[in-house]
Chains A and B, each alone.
Chain A
Amino acid sequence: MRTSECDVVVVGVGGQGVILISEIIGRAALKEGLSVRGVETHGMAQRGGSVINHIRVGCRYSAMISPGSADVLLAMEPAEGLRYAHYLSPEGVALVNTTPVLPITVTTGQASYPAVEEILDLLRGIASMVRAIDATGLAARAGSPQATNVVMLGGLARYLPIGGATLLEALTESVPAKFLDINRKAFELGKIEVE
């Protein structure tokens, strides 16, 4: 028996705005009367480290998603997408931003960063479907690369049991008014990209 309507694992690098995604989905779920759970990475791992947040919509249990059971993997960064790909269920879908953020191990030459296509190929062997999204590029088109996370949220919208209009309403309440236009554009661009 399923114990949650929709389990999403959001991964990326500390500072990419992963927590905002959880905040918006949570608010939107609440507006639709759905029970919602989330859990975030704070502390040590935030300093440019790898971060993973769990979000469960229509769930009354804990916020923790076990490996092998996520419906969607939302990756703000390709290598981080692959790092947490084992959280996906065999039917799971991966939405992946294709712009890498190089870790310190790569910039200092201790390790190398694989080709993005190689990462996507491996992901295709794990997920039932992989949607590669140039979210950073789309965010720049919307007005700021900072809105990469919101482009990805737009891409996620069709996989959530929450109406797009409700998500947009929650987005409006969660971002500063002066960046609202950019964020609404970013959301729409992400949404169109996966349709």
Chain B
Amino acid sequence: MREYLLGNVAIAKGILEAGAGVVSGYPGTPSSEIVDYLAPLAKERGIHVEWSVNEKVAMEVAIGASWTGARAAVTMKHVGLNVAADPFMTLAYLGAGGGFVACVADDPYCHSSQNEQDSRRYAQFARVPCLDPADPQEARDMTLRAFSLSEEFGVPVMLRPTTRVSHARADVEVGPPEERRDKPGFEKDPARRVALPAHARPLHVELLDKQPGIEAALAKEAWNRAEMRGEVGVIASGISGLYAEEAIAGMEADLSLLRIGTYPLPRKIVGDFLERVDRVLVVEEMDPVVEELVEMVAKERNPDVQILGKRSGHVPAVGELDPLTVINAISEMIDLRQRAAPSLCPEALSILPSRPPALCPGCSHRAAYYAMIKAFGKEAIFPNDIGCYTMGVGMGTVDTCLCMGASITVGAGIRFGGEERPICAVLGDSTFLHAGLTGLLNAAYNGARMTVAILDNSITAMTGHQPHPGSGATAAGDPSPPLSLEEICRSLGAGFVETTDPYDLESTIATFERAKAYPGLSVVVARRPCVISAIRAGVRRPRLAVDVEKCSGCKVCVRFGCPAIEFDGKVARINALCTGCGVCAEICPAGAMEVVR
């Protein structure tokens, strides 16, 4: 059956076709749509699909399922694998039971990420095979192969799409979902399941011994293929292989092309290719993983071949590629004139206003930040975290952003480092449950004098509104046990815990002031459901309008930064984006904001 599918949906369908029994993950762009697609199907397919609390947890749940004989998949974005690196590295030794696939989506150019780390390095590091799809069809095909490869060699397998594969759409050939392929339950086998030193040592040897077999098995796959057309060649991996194929076809150039789709690198294929060319360009995004291996193979098979790529400056070392960049890299190699990459003309550049993403109209984070600045002052230090609320950077309440959960821990470090000004660390509910709990415990234990603000909108909003333990339901839609952030914070050791509704500005400012005055670790839970969730749930609040007679044109509301508030030269105006939060009415010194009844 041929369907027009998003890359991540193609992967999800591949997981169903493989008969997987358990799928877990933590949301993160560009990986989220895999579990998003599967969760509503969990019940009818009789499989377990979950949004886990974080990536480490997700991976361990999938590992347990695999050790019980189920085919299991875990999904995350590249930086999520940092969180899950601990189980991932040792799982490579202990091995999989039922097929185990870790789908780790990379984000070249940091479209929605804090770095552009290359997960192929992790696969190399752990000695785990990695499949690198070029498009949604390969993503689906590789998902199926990843499960069978995992079972053939008893190893976890990484599937590593990038943003332009996960969020690409294409006509994809897919098959029907299969029944769960479970084997009988958990088998006790301490030598393979208990990572004691005495077990780990032989398992490390075993893992190394598996490598040649894995390499040979993957070398046979069509994702690694050479087309010889002359003594100048291109070696390109993953999506770069498609760019190179298109570039060569478009240029009508007689160039040999070797496409790489699997790791460990098929060294024999690479060596055979290198023997038949005298100059080769290695094209890949992110790290020079293939380039370094090609250099090693060349030493044995053809030391005279000229290797161009990132090291020679032909291929950009950062960001993402596109067909034109590859055409130009090839042109430079074969001494053709390069095509200038068209860019925005200077006249356009000079008149176009920038359009950065912003907090939504009516987002309670904006109100919480407004109150926070009022209470703490601009001189306070505001360590921040990963989520929608990082977009508040223009409001002066985002001083640091490092990784999930680091607001509290970095904030404590800033205090211990000698900073005397007030510190208010900010993170969201999903991020707090993901990696903030241990940080808060540590801050309490070690006596950090600071405030922690949990901006609780009851959902993982940034990545597409996935539920978490504070949302009240699981991914599959089952009700979950009630959870109190306040009780958690108290039991972790916070001496002051108060809750406020950010739409009630006066009370929120007062709450922050009390938290600031508290001589220890204080927590403010600023609670208000995400405005998008509220609108989807049918909540409608009366909109506001400006009484132009009363408006003094002071721009206090305009500087608040709500996209629903405009300035028409003399007075403020409220546009159709207004969701009726009413916060602007609270900050207007002239009392000019009126509720439209």
Asked if B347 contacts A39 (CB within 8 A), the reply is no
In Å, the complex CA distance between A104 and B363 comes to 14
Chain A 31-68 near chain B by CB (<8 Å), digits 1 or 0: 00001111111111111111000000000011111111
Segment at the interface with A among B123-131, B243-251, B494-502, B542-550: B243-251
Segment at the interface with A among B227-235, B258-266, B351-359, B407-415: B351-359
Is B2 in the interface zone, CB < 8 Å from A? yes
Asked if A61 contacts B356 (CB within 8 A), the reply is no
Chain B 324-349 near chain A by CB (<8 Å), digits 1 or 0: 11010000000000010111110110
Please pick, from B354, B391, B558, the residue contacting A47 in the complex, using a CB distance under 8 A. B391
Asked if A37 contacts B169 (CB within 8 A), the reply is yes
Q: What residue of chain A has the Cβ atom nearest to residue B564's Cβ?
A: A107
| Interface size range on B against A | 35 or more
Chain A 68-107 near chain B by CB (<8 Å), digits 1 or 0: 1100000000011011011100000000000000111111
Answer whether A47 and B341 are a contact pair too, CB < 8 Å, given A36-B171, A61-B242, A67-B324: no
Q: What residue of chain A has the Cβ atom nearest to residue B169's Cβ?
A: A38
Is B437 in the interface zone, CB < 8 Å from A? no
Answer whether A1 and B249 are a contact pair too, CB < 8 Å, given A42-B167, A104-B561: yes
Please pick, from A3, A37, A42, A46, the residue contacting B250 in the complex, using a CB distance under 8 A. A3
In Å, the complex CA distance between A79 and B354 comes to 9
Is B555 in the interface zone, CB < 8 Å from A? yes
Is B463 in the interface zone, CB < 8 Å from A? yes
Is A191 in the interface zone, CB < 8 Å from B? no
Q: For chains A and B in complex, what number of residue pairs have CB atoms within 8 angstroms?
A: 189
Please pick, from A23, A26, A43, A83, the residue contacting B29 in the complex, using a CB distance under 8 A. A43
List residues of B (93-112) whose CB comes within 8 Å of A's CBs: 111-112
Answer whether A61 and B323 are a contact pair too, CB < 8 Å, given A79-B352, A104-B561: yes
Answer whether A30 and B245 are a contact pair too, CB < 8 Å, given A45-B357, A62-B168, A104-B356: no
Chain A residues near B464 (CB, 8 Å)? 42
Answer whether A63 and B164 are a contact pair too, CB < 8 Å, given A40-B169, A105-B355: yes
Is A148 in the interface zone, CB < 8 Å from B? no
Chain B residues near A119 (CB, 8 Å)? 351
Q: What residue of chain B has the Cβ atom nearest to residue A82's Cβ?
A: B348
Please pick, from A29, A39, A61, A118, the residue contacting B167 in the complex, using a CB distance under 8 A. A39
Chain A residues within 8 Å of chain B by Cβ, number: 60
Is B309 in the interface zone, CB < 8 Å from A? no
Shortest B161–chain A CB gap in Å is 12
Asked if A62 contacts B246 (CB within 8 A), the reply is yes
Chain B 157-196 near chain A by CB (<8 Å), digits 1 or 0: 0000000100111110000000000000000000000000
Q: What residue of chain B has the Cβ atom nearest to residue A103's Cβ?
A: B355
Is B239 in the interface zone, CB < 8 Å from A? yes
Q: What residue of chain A has the Cβ atom nearest to residue B246's Cβ?
A: A61
Asked if A114 contacts B252 (CB within 8 A), the reply is no
Chain A 151-170 near chain B by CB (<8 Å), digits 1 or 0: 00000000000000000000
Shortest B378–chain A CB gap in Å is 18
In Å, the complex CA distance between A24 and B25 comes to 30
Is B3 in the interface zone, CB < 8 Å from A? yes
Chain B residues near A118 (CB, 8 Å)? 351
Answer whether A122 and B324 are a contact pair too, CB < 8 Å, given A61-B246, A102-B566, A109-B567: no
Is B487 in the interface zone, CB < 8 Å from A? no
In Å, the complex CA distance between A82 and B135 comes to 29
In Å, the complex CA distance between A122 and B348 comes to 7
Q: What residue of chain B has the Cβ atom nearest to residue A79's Cβ?
A: B352
Asked if A44 contacts B344 (CB within 8 A), the reply is no
In Å, the complex CA distance between A126 and B345 comes to 9
- Most chain-B Cβ atoms within 10 A of its Cβ — which of A38, A41, A113, A118? A38
Please pick, from A48, A62, A103, A106, the residue contacting B360 in the complex, using a CB distance under 8 A. A48
Asked if B4 contacts A30 (CB within 8 A), the reply is yes
Asked if A108 contacts B324 (CB within 8 A), the reply is no
Chain A 1-42 near chain B by CB (<8 Å), digits 1 or 0: 111000000000110000000110011011000011111111
Question: B residues bordering A, Cβ < 8 Å?
Answer: 2-4, 6, 29-30, 33, 111-112, 134-135, 164, 167-171, 239, 242-243, 245-246, 249-250, 252, 322-325, 327, 339, 341-345, 347-348, 351-360, 388, 391, 462-464, 555, 558-559, 561, 563, 565-567, 575
Q: Apart from A27-B4, A36-B171, what are 20 other A-B pairs with CB-CB below 8 Å? A: A1-B252, A3-B246, A3-B249, A29-B171, A30-B3, A39-B164, A39-B169, A42-B33, A43-B112, A48-B357, A62-B164, A68-B339, A79-B353, A82-B344, A83-B344, A83-B348, A86-B345, A102-B566, A108-B559, A126-B345
Question: A residues bordering B, Cβ < 8 Å?
Answer: 1-3, 13-14, 22-23, 26-27, 29-30, 35-50, 61-69, 79-80, 82-83, 85-87, 102-109, 111-114, 118-119, 122, 125-126
What are 29 A-B contacts defined by CB distance under 8 Å?
Answer: A1-B250, A2-B250, A23-B169, A35-B170, A36-B170, A40-B6, A44-B462, A46-B357, A47-B360, A47-B388, A48-B358, A49-B358, A62-B243, A64-B322, A64-B323, A67-B341, A68-B342, A69-B324, A79-B352, A82-B348, A86-B344, A102-B566, A103-B355, A104-B355, A105-B355, A107-B563, A108-B559, A112-B353, A119-B351
